Structures are given as C-alpha cells and as structure tokens.
Amino acid sequence: MATVSSLNRVLSGMRTTGKLHLGHYHGVLKNWVNLQHEHDCFFFAADWHALTTHYEDPSIIENSVYDVIIDWLAAGVNPGSATIFIQSKVPEHAELHLLLSMITPLGWLERVPTFKDQQEKLKEKDLATYGFLGYPLLQSADILIYKAGLVPVGEDQVSHVELTREVARRFNHLYGREKGYEEKAEAAIGKMGRKNAKLYKELQKRYREQGDTEALSTGRALLESQHNLSVGDKERLFGFIEGGGKVILPEPQSLLTKASKVPGLDGQKMSKSYGNTIGLREEPASIEKKIKIMPTDPARVRLTDPGDPQKCPVWQFHLMYSSEEVKAWVQESCTTAAIGCIDCKQRVTDAVLKELQPIREAAQEYIDDPKIVRTIVAEGNERARDVARDTLDEVRLAMGLSYR
C-alpha cells in the first residue's frame, strides 16, 4: 500500500571511504540494528557522496563498498528487515537531485555549515567543486525519494536534514498547487467516512486556529491509516491540514544519534583521520599490539610510580568495557602502583577481542561466499528502485515532465 509519507520509514547512508572501526559500530551500527525491528529501514552505501571528496582517487571507494556492507551485515543489520543497497545503483537519486537543484537557492547550500567546515578541514583537497556544494542536496534527494519520516544522523548532519525540510517545503509549495485543490480536498474528506471526516476537520481546525502541532501529527497519522484514499488524495489532505497545497515530498525528521563515546587509541575521539582506530575486522594480534603501545598516564614512568586513570586513554576504554568491579580494581591499583599498565591493558584487550570475535566470524562467512552479499545487495537495489521510481513519477508529474 503506497502512503504519502512513510512516517515509519527510516533512511540512512554511510559514505564508503574505507573499512569501518569500533566508532562506527558503537556510534551508528548498533543504532541501525535496533531501528530495524520497529521501522521500515533503508540503509545504503553512499558511494556518490564519497566521490565528492575522493574524486581524485576513487579506488578507495570501489574497494570499500562491499567491505562496508559486509561490516553492516556482520554487525547485525538484517537484510530480512532492512533494505540494503548502493546509492549509485539507484540512479533515480541523481534525477531527483537534478530536479531539486532547479529550485534550490545557492545561498541555502553556501550557508550549510559543513560546506565551509569541511573545506577548511580537508585543506589538501580542492573542494571548491559543484559536486561538493551540492552534497547536502544530493542527501536531500536520498531522503525525499523514499519519503522517509526519520533520518538517523550524527550532530554534524542535522543541518542537512534541515535543508531537506526546506527543500521539500519549497517543492510542495511550488508544485503542490493544482487547479481545484480545495474542492478536491473537500471531496477527499468525504471519502473518509463520517467519523474520520469529522475527526480530520477537528484536527484541521485545531491546527489552523491554535497552531497545535500535535493535531497536525495526529491528523497525518489518521491519514496514513486510511486505506480507501488514493495516494493523491492523501497528499492533498496532508497539506490541507495546514492549508497549504499537496504534500508530495513530506518533511523528514532527524533522529539524532548521540555522539559515539568511543575513544581512540590516543584519547581523542576515534576517527580515521586521527589514525587512532581499531578496525571492526582487525586481526586480534594487531589489536593487541595497538593497545600494548597505547599511551598511558605519563606519570607512570616506572612500575612503582602511581598514576591517575583520569589522565590515561586506557581508562576511557575501561569506562566503556569494564564492569564496576574491574573499574574499581583499576582505580585502586593504578593510584597505588599495585599493577603495571600491561596488566591493566590486558583487561581492555580481552574485552575488545571478545566483542569483535563474533563480528569477525560473521564477516568471514560473507567473505567466503561473496554471492550471498551480491544477492542481498541486488535485491535491496531492486526494492529501493521500486520505491524511488514511484516517487520520481510523482515528481515528474507535478513538475510537468510527464509528456511522452
């Protein structure tokens, strides 16, 4: 059953610029895995977005697209509940991006904070490109083409969802005003049955007269559940609550994922650009070595020098991984120099290896049988395309591009 907004639909993407690490696991993937049980989830590898910054050497993208997807699967993203696909395999995103670009004022893109921030941060790259300026608008197309209601993103991406809302509003404003709109909307209300029609009118009144946003969302939920209304009628009535035109592209909400608390090996946030990561599928021996050479409280020069866990990056890992008991043991024995850092670190190593072992094993099964992943992605691409094509048909119709 087609719906106007898929309020329950979740969409998120990840740029494919290298293998994933513990930060991605705790910051993003665990969240995706939880969402997939209650929402209609679409997760995709954003290879075009990766290209905006890696256009000079795209080999890294090519090499990481499937690696990243294997990481998702190994971490528990379930292709039975979530649609997993690759952005460039659904070229409808590009057409919607192009069409939206016609109505997007340059200033909106120039003012997106990530535009200047990233240019500053990635000074070694020339990001004064058309593609990079359009990055957030491509993201808007990713979201709007699925009419997603919810977009799980980190803090840095909230402005992109905000732009998406503005672009959707502008689109609906420009193209949602058909001839005889009010009459058609009134006729659609008549198709809802007496009780629901009355409820709709009440909610509409509450929203229009008192600006009651709860009435707006209740009204929209009511429409979602009306199985005898056509998509067109639902779009009319969605917009008619507010008094605007048809809502062809619904405005998404961002679902803010709390900043990942994963510390890096050096105590800064774990990030590829700091070179302080532990890979999701990294070999145990390599992880062990990395932890072994982690810096500790500099006061602990000799075994007999007491330390302070607050000044030690290893402690940050204990906070994430250790029981109260182990944490108390660290506090006590570090400050009294009762243990050496090697013993203290061993507990962290054990915990990390234990967490990653099932992920590495699951990933290995996919690596050993690449056909499975190809099939999952091929099916995901198709499922995504079906939805994307429907939206694009509506968009073309609304913009007067449906002639043959």
Binding site for ligand TRP (CB under 6 A): 11-15, 46, 49, 139, 142-143, 151, 153, 157
Q: Which helix (H) or strand (E) holds 69?
A: helix 59-74
Instruction: Identify the residue whose tokens are 């990390």.
Output: 352
Judging by DSSP bridges, how do beta strands 253-256 and 6-15 pair with one another?
A: unpaired
> Which one of ligand TRP, ligand SF4, none interacts with residue 345, CB within 5 to 8 A by kind?
ligand SF4
Minimum CB distance to ligand TRP, residue 174 (Å): 23
Angle between the N-to-C axes of helices 92-101 and 370-398, in degrees from 0 to 180, rounded to the nearest 10: 30
Minimum CB distance to ligand SF4, residue 360 (Å): 25
> Which one of ligand TRP, ligand SF4, none interacts with residue 134, CB within 5 to 8 A by kind?
none
Minimum CB distance to ligand TRP, residue 50 (Å): 9
Minimum CB distance to ligand SF4, residue 283 (Å): 22
The footprint of ligand SF4 (CB under 6 A) covers 296-297, 300, 307, 309, 312, 314-315, 330, 334, 339, 341, 344-345
Query: Residue number with the shortest CB distance to ligand TRP?
Result: 13
Is residue 87 within 8 A of residue 49, CB to CB? The reply is yes
Q: For residue 342, what are its two tokens?
A: 């090697």
Cα–Cα distance for residue pair 348/263, rounded to 1 Å: 12
Phi/psi region, residue 137 (left: phi>0; alpha: psi -120 to 50; beta: rest), is alpha
Sign of torsion over alpha carbons 123, 254, 105, 16? positive
| Residue-wise DSSP of 13-42 | EEE-SS--BHHHIIIIIHHHHHHHHHSEEE
- The CA radius of gyration of the chain, in Å to the nearest whole number, is 25
Q: Which is nearer to ligand SF4, 174 or 338 (CB)?
A: 338
Q: Which is nearer to ligand TRP, 152 or 313 (CB)?
A: 152
> Which one of ligand TRP, ligand SF4, none interacts with residue 20, CB within 5 to 8 A by kind?
none
> Which one of ligand TRP, ligand SF4, none interacts with residue 139, CB within 5 to 8 A by kind?
ligand TRP
Cα–Cα distance for residue pair 62/65, rounded to 1 Å: 6
Q: Which is nearer to ligand SF4, 36 or 296 (CB)?
A: 296
> Which one of ligand SF4, ligand TRP, none interacts with residue 189, CB within 5 to 8 A by kind?
none
Q: Which is nearer to ligand SF4, 291 or 376 (CB)?
A: 291
Q: Which is nearer to ligand SF4, 103 or 342 (CB)?
A: 342
DSSP letter for 250, please. P
> Which one of ligand TRP, ligand SF4, none interacts with residue 344, CB within 5 to 8 A by kind?
ligand SF4
DSSP letter for 310, please. G
> Which one of ligand TRP, ligand SF4, none interacts with residue 226, CB within 5 to 8 A by kind?
none
Q: Which is nearer to ligand TRP, 294 or 384 (CB)?
A: 384
> Which one of ligand SF4, ligand TRP, none interacts with residue 153, CB within 5 to 8 A by kind?
ligand TRP
Minimum CB distance to ligand TRP, residue 32 (Å): 11
Minimum CB distance to ligand TRP, residue 94 (Å): 13
CA atoms within 13 A on the CB side of 238: 28
Across the beta sheet with 82-86, the strand order is 82-86, 40-46, 6-15, 148-153, 253-256
243 CB-contact burial (10 Å; exposed 0-12 / middle 13-18 / buried 19+): exposed
> Which one of ligand SF4, ligand TRP, none interacts with residue 49, CB within 5 to 8 A by kind?
ligand TRP
Minimum CB distance to ligand SF4, residue 305 (Å): 9
Minimum CB distance to ligand SF4, residue 314 (Å): 4
Alpha helices in 113-272 (DSSP H): 113-121, 130-133, 135-144, 158-175, 181-190, 194-210, 213-224, 231-242
Q: Which is nearer to ligand SF4, 250 or 307 (CB)?
A: 307
